[in-house]
A and B are shown apart, each in its own frame.
Chain A
Amino acid sequence: GEDVEQSLFLSVREGDSSVINCTYTDSSSTYLYWYKQEPGAGLQLLTYIFSNMDMKQDQRLTVLLNKKDKHLSLRIADTQTGDSAIYFCAVGYNDMRFGAGTRLTVKP
């Protein structure tokens, strides 16, 4: 089965960049995803990257994929207090595997 690992906590100052990292074991997934969970809510897709891409940029979000090292990262530029949430890396398709989630805290 797929193993997906992420660090559990990240704290940054407002205006700084945040980088959340993820490693995975199975390289057969066509898409790799980042989901965001706000308190008391379900997950919401934040962004995704196709497996034949190295980078994807979407406004303040940059996703980097290193297929050789099976490493995925999410960079949030100019982090705001509203970005405080739990961020999940996910790999797979119907049988999706999620990381444990990284709790991002943004301090004013």
Chain B
Amino acid sequence: NAGVTQTPKFQVLKTGQSMTLQCAQDMNHNSMYWYRQDPGMGLRLIYYSASEGTTDKGEVPNGYNVSRLNKREFSLRLESAAPSQTSVYFCASSFGTGRNEQFFGPGTRLTVL
């Protein structure tokens, strides 16, 4: 089992460019999440999908869109990247029941110039 995989690992964009971060899980989890991690601020939830076919805003959704493509895949799109979106992005997944342990991917380091 690969767990949670994310692509790409690193990306550099210019202001105004668009890109999609991909995430996939092979644990048959119902719920998936996108976070950003910034120094001194911990992880902040961008969007989550509690189940296939649903998405909800988290704490910092502005400037992002998501797609729950199927049960395995949850993508994050930046339509017009801004320097404030420079961050490390983590995808996570969970069963969405019980203690709801979240399993994290290795992260994508994004720099917007």
Residue among B58, B100, B106 making CB contact with A42, cutoff 8 Å: B106
B31 nearest CB neighbor, chain A only? A94
| Chain B interface residue count, Cβ-Cβ cutoff 8 angstroms | 27
B43 on the A face (CB < 8 A): yes
Q: Which residues of B contact A101 (CB under 8 A)?
A: 42
Residues of chain B contacted by A24 (CB below 8 angstroms): none
A97 within 8 A of B: yes
Contacts of B92 in A (CB 8 A): 42-43
| A95 and B45 contact, Cβ closer than 8 Å, known pairs A8-B40, A48-B99, A100-B40 | yes
Across-interface contacts of B74 in A (CB, < 8 A):
none
Residues of B within 8 A of A96 (CB): 33, 45, 102
Q: B43: which A residues are within 8 A, CB to CB?
A: 43, 88, 98
A94 to B90, CA, bound (A): 15
Please give, as numbers and ranges, the residues of chain A lying within 8 Å of B99 by CB-CB distance: 31, 48, 50
Interface size class of A (residues with CB under 8 A): 20 to 34
Contact B45 A42 (CB under 8 A): no
- A94 interface neighbour in B40, B42, B48, Cβ under 8 Å: B48
Would you give the shortest CB distance from B43 to chain A, in whole angstroms?
4
Tell me, yes or no, whether A82 is within 8 Å of chain B by CB.
Answer: no
- Interface readout for A32-48 with B: 1 if CB under 8 Å, 0 if not? 01000000111111001
Q: How many angstroms from the CA of A100 to the CA of B41 in the assembled complex?
A: 5
Question: Given the known A-B contacts A94-B96, A96-B33, are A45 and B44 also in contact in the complex, defined by CB atoms under 8 Å?
Answer: no
Cα distance A85–B108 in the bound complex, in angstroms: 19
Query: Would you call A42 and B104 a contact (CB within 8 A)?
Result: yes
Interface residues of A (CB under 8 A from B): 1, 4, 8, 31, 33, 40-45, 48, 50, 88, 93-101
10 other A-B residue contacts (CB within 8 Å) besides A42-B90, A44-B104, A93-B100? A1-B59, A42-B104, A42-B107, A94-B31, A94-B96, A96-B45, A98-B35, A98-B44, A100-B41, A101-B42
* Closest 5 pairs (CB-CB, A-B): A42-B104, A100-B42, A98-B43, A98-B42, A43-B104
